[in-house]
Amino acid sequence: MSVAHALTTVARVKTFLDIPDVSDDAVLDILVDQATDMIESFCGRRFVADISGANYANVTEYHDGGCAKNILNLRRYPIASIVSISYNTGTNNSPVWTPFSPAYDYQFNSNTGEVIFGALLPKGFQNIRVVYTAGYQNKAGSPAPTSAPVIPSDLESACMMLVSMLYNKRKSIGASAENLGGSTLNWIDGLPEEIRQILFTYKNLAF
pLDDT of residue 141: 56
DSSP class of residue 101 equals P
Q: Give phi and psi for 63, each to the nearest 5.
A: -130, 155
pLDDT of residue 2: 65
pLDDT of residue 102: 94
C-alpha 174: how far from its chain's center? 29
Name the CA radius of gyration of the chain, rounded. 20
Strand 124-134 vs strand 51-52: parallel, antiparallel, or unpaired? Answer: unpaired
pLDDT of residue 88: 97
Q: What is the pLDDT of residues 75-114, one digit of tens each?
A: 999 999 999 999 999 998 999 999 999 999 999 999 999 9
Report which of 163, 192, 187 is spatially closest to residue 31, judged by C-alpha positions: 163
The answer to whether 79 and 90 have CB atoms below 8 angstroms apart is no
Burial class from Cβ neighbours inside 10 Å (0-12, 13-18, 19+) for residue 1 reads exposed
pLDDT of residue 183: 45
pLDDT in tens, the chain (207 residues): 567 889 999 999 999 999 999 988 999 999 999 999 999 999 999 999 998 877 899 999 999 998 888 999 999 999 999 999 999 999 989 999 999 999 999 999 999 999 999 999 999 999 999 999 999 988 765 556 667 888 999 999 999 999 999 998 875 654 455 554 444 445 455 688 899 999 999 999 886
All residues at 6 or more sequence positions from 166 whose CB lies less than 8 Å from its CB, including other chains: 31, 34, 35
Report which of 70, 68, 64 is spatially closest to residue 126, judged by C-alpha positions: 64
The answer to whether 76 and 168 have CB atoms below 8 angstroms apart is no
**How many residues make up the chain in this entry?**
207
User: What distance in Å separates the CA atoms of residue 62 and residue 97, rounded to the nearest whole number?
Assistant: 12
User: What distance in Å separates the CA atoms of residue 87 and residue 70, rounded to the nearest whole number?
Assistant: 13
DSSP class per residue in 63-102: EEE-TT--EEE-SS-SEEEEEEEEEE-S-SSS--EEEPPT
The answer to whether 3 and 50 have CB atoms below 8 angstroms apart is no
> Model pTM?
0.85
